[in-house]
């Protein structure tokens, strides 16, 4: 009771001094908010987090101060636990891949359905349309506040053995995949030998030759100079692309004033737009300079013909059909319709 009286008198004093007309009740704010990402700057993913945190700091005049934790270091690199950690408050904010959160939010497997999204317009048709809204509602119900979309990108397959043009070329190849079960299903269906591991474990596995190959957006190949660890073959097949999502833990969100919430949301939207342009650089221009740069390093770059691509679509179709049920038949149908109606 005594404490309560004390608090009430403090409150009265603060009101009298006009403390609540200040832009934020800064006393409730943490000195620093922890933002989780898998890949560090200079990757587009790292840039997404950096641009977001810089904009927030600037626009809140330092009231909200964000520190980046690359390598999902708040959870010791165990990226498929990131969503649970966000919900529990071990992580305050994140820019995360749909793949890493899909074990907890099954709808996010949508983006991993093999060959669902044939081009960038198809990705946009999902994230910027009704499907994207539904996914945000699901995330909200799952316990985080979703704010904006970004992009990791089309995941192309690389390896140290041979050019991959058909599922037969993948036969028996040891491919590192993310710890999300649909990836094991896909690579098994294509005849490869997938091994699930975190990105933290994947890098030494590639260097030592414990795995023959991996799949990730091409900027990662360039940033990590994967040709130097024997990755001599790249196949552009565009089988899946993973969007990124900007989110905040619910309690943290609730602790901010409405004005600061609006700033954080708008900064995420602005950062997402900028980052998507960065992620697509070199890949969407007619001559696709990103591929040329990789070929110039002595790497064999293979672009599939439509017929070659169809062979991969065919062998992975049973995986698509199986996972359609997990994602939700209605959501997949809505996505297929949105893609069919996209402006190219």
Using CB under 6 A as the criterion, which residues of the chain lie in contact with ligand X2X when the complex forms? 38-39, 79, 97, 99-100, 152, 178, 199, 216, 242
Nearer to ligand X2X by Cβ, of 178 and 234: the residue is: 178
Residue 72 DSSP SS3 = helix
Residue nearest to ligand X2X (CB): 199
* Axis-axis angle for helices 306-327, 181-189 (nearest 10): 140
Nearer to ligand X2X by Cβ, of 199 and 256: the residue is: 199
* Strands (DSSP E) found in the chain: 33-36, 66-69, 93-97, 144-154, 156-159, 174-177, 193-196, 213-216, 233-236, 241-249, 300-303
Contact between 96 and 245 (Cβ < 8 Å): yes
Nearer to ligand X2X by Cβ, of 136 and 199: the residue is: 199
CB of 166 to ligand X2X, least distance (A): 24
- Pairing, β 174-177 against β 213-216: parallel
**CA distances from residue 85 to 33, 200, 293 in whole angstroms, order as listed:** 14, 18, 38
CB of 231 to ligand X2X, least distance (A): 14
Nearer to ligand X2X by Cβ, of 49 and 338: the residue is: 49
How many contiguous H segments (helices) and E segments (strands) does the chain have? 14, 11
Nearer to ligand X2X by Cβ, of 216 and 302: the residue is: 216
Q: In this structure, what DSSP letter does residue 40 have? A: P
CB of 108 to ligand X2X, least distance (A): 11
CB of 237 to ligand X2X, least distance (A): 16
**CA distances from residue 291 to 170, 217, 233, 286, 300 in whole angstroms, order as listed:** 21, 11, 12, 11, 10
User: Which residues, including other chains, have CB under 8 Å from residue 339's CB and lie 6 or more apart?
Assistant: 116, 117, 118, 122, 125, 126
CB of 344 to ligand X2X, least distance (A): 27
CB of 82 to ligand X2X, least distance (A): 9
Nearer to ligand X2X by Cβ, of 60 and 97: the residue is: 97
């Amino acid at each position: 009771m005594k404490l309560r009286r004390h608090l009430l008198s403090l409150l009265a004093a603060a009101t009298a001094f006009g403390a609540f007309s200040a832009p934020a009740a800064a006393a409730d704010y943490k000195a620093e908010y922890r933002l989780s990402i898998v890949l560090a700057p200079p990757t587009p993913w790292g840039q997404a987090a950096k641009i977001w945190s810089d904009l927030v700091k600037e626009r809140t005049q330092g009231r909200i101060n964000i520190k980046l934790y690359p390598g999902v270091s708040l959870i010791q690199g165990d990226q498929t636990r990131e969503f649970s950690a966000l919900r529990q408050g071990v992580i305050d904010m994140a820019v995360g891949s749909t793949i890493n959160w899909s074990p907890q939010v099954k709808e996010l497997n949508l983006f991993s359905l093999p060959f669902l999204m044939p081009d960038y317009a198809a990705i946009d048709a999902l994230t910027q349309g009704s499907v994207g809204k539904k996914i945000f509602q699901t995330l909200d119900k799952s316990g985080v506040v979703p704010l904006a979309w970004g992009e990791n990108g089309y995941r192309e397959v690389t390896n140290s053995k041979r050019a991959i043009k058909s599922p037969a070329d993948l036969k028996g190849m040891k491919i590192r995949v993310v710890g999300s079960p649909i990836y094991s299903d896909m690579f098994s269906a294509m005849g490869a030998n997938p091994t699930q591991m975190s990105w933290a474990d994947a890098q030494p596995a590639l260097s030592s030759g414990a795995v023959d190959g991996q799949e990730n957006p091409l900027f990662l190949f360039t940033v990590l100079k994967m040709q130097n660890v024997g990755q001599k073959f790249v196949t552009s097949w565009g089988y899946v692309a993973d969007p990124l999502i900007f989110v905040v833990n619910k309690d943290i969100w609730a602790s901010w004033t409405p004005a600061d919430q609006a700033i954080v949301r708008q900064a995420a939207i602005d950062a997402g737009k900028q980052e998507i342009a960065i992620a697509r650089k070199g890949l969407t221009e007619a001559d696709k300079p990103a591929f040329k740069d990789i070929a110039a390093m002595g790497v064999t770059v293979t672009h599939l013909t439509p017929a070659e691509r169809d062979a991969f679509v065919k062998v992975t179709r049973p995986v698509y059909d199986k996972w359609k049920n997990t994602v939700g038949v209605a959501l997949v149908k809505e996505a297929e319709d949105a893609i069919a109606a996209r402006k190219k």
